[in-house]
Homo-oligomer: A and B are copies of this chain.
Amino acid sequence: MENEKAVTLQDIANRLNLSVVTISKALRNHPDISIKTTKLIKKVAEEMGYMPNIMARNLSSRKSNTLGLVVPKIAHHFFGAIIESIFDLAFQQNYETILTVSQENAEREKKHLLTLLSMKVDGIIISVTQETKDLSVFEMIERRGVPIVFIDRVPESAQNYNIVKVDDYNGAYKAIEHAYNLGYRKIAHFGGATNINIGRDRMNGFKDAMNNFGIEINPNWIFEGGYSENSGYEFFMKLYKENNLPELILAVTYPVALGIYMAAKEVGLEIPKDIDVICFGNAKVQSFLSPPLSCIDQPTDLISKNAIDLIMKKIDDEDNEIAPQQIVLDTSLVLRGTCIKKH
């Protein structure tokens, strides 16, 4: 069974007794070609089922109209929401987005980044893994002149790159302030790795708030671990076995909070009566958990919007005259069935 061969500009040119160049120009609405010819060419191209070969086009034009997006995970609400809106916004501006998933693995991330470079994307938006420390790839990307924007997660030493993130420090601070007013004094923080900003800033906001309100920080209640359900589960179980549970846990992400829910259920402890929780990240489904989970909301749509705007600006700025920008968005406290009163 023979496959149909793809129609090329040459085929159309042959049929019409015109040159390849004329066809190419006409299809791109180049003013060189008369309206009449353009119309004819477009009609014939349509008839013949012409489809541009994007590889060839990109190779020759040195422009791909493509964005690279690197995230640590897909199946987490936060990243799902970010990806969906970035794809949408890019599509509206006629950009294709190439998604790549690092699975929280720095080596894999680096490999993906190199692939994106090889694919000649016009810009890269990335949320790094929790292990990412080595900046050499990013420096190389910069040197190559490919704009890069960090969203949400930024390596500690990359604070002068283009960044769109959330005010994590204040988010944590506000949560602790709220808990303090509720009367909570025994508060734990299940935090993330502190080599990236979200872990560090949330930790700092937590600690500063604790200190400012004169609450003692119990080092056994501070964890610097991961962002996944497993982490939440394990930290909780550790404290439970030590018989050393706090009254309230500030979880660094929604999955961590879910891990806490799992663990508490398993050992027969009731939230929020026996142990209370609040977390970063606002998924719609949190309203339907038992109990509904309160959180520090991160505005995912705004993050995406700002990231796209920024990267487009950078792509247009061919001479690289615009200085890197750091955009910090506000969080807000969303109170539901947890962390609303002390038990």
Contacts and interface: CB of A to CB of B under 8 A. Distances in A.
A98 B3 CA distance: 23
B6 A144 contact: yes
Nearest to A97: B99
Contacts of A258: 284-285, 288
Nearest to A283: B285
Contact of A87 (B1, B74, B292): B74
A54 B84 contact: no
Interface residues of A, number: 58
Nearest to A291: B290
A22 interface: no
Contacts of A289: 285, 288-290
Interface stretch (A32-40, A114-122, A126-134, A206-214): A114-122
A290 B291 CA distance: 7
Nearest to A115: B96
A290 B285 CA distance: 11
A84 B74 contact: yes
A73 interface: yes
A8 interface: no
Most buried by B among A98, A229, A265: A98
Given A75-B84, A80-B75, A84-B75, A143 B55 contact: no
B143 A4 contact: yes
A140 interface: yes
Copies in the complex: 2
A91 B111 CA distance: 11
A267 to B, nearest CB: 15
Nearest to A319: B1
A331 to B, nearest CB: 20
A92 B290 CA distance: 38
Nearest to A271: B288
Contacts of A290: 288-292
A265 B284 CA distance: 14
A73 B81 CA distance: 10
B74 A80 contact: yes
Interface stretch (A45-53, A173-181, A190-198, A236-244): A45-53
A261 B288 CA distance: 7
Nearest to A73: B84
Contacts of A91: 101, 108
B284 A229 contact: yes
A79 to B, nearest CB: 9
A100 B91 CA distance: 10
Interface string A80-114: 11011001100100001111110100001000001
Interface of A: 1, 3-4, 6, 49, 51-56, 58-59, 64, 73-75, 77, 80-81, 83-84, 87-88, 91, 96-101, 103, 108, 114-115, 117-120, 140, 143-145, 229, 258, 261-262, 265, 284-285, 287-292, 319-320
Q: When A and B form their complex, which 3 residue pairs have the shortest distance between CB atoms, in order from nearest?
A: A290-B290, A3-B145, A75-B80
Given A51-B118, A97-B99, 5 more contacts: A1-B319, A4-B143, A53-B59, A55-B56, A88-B103
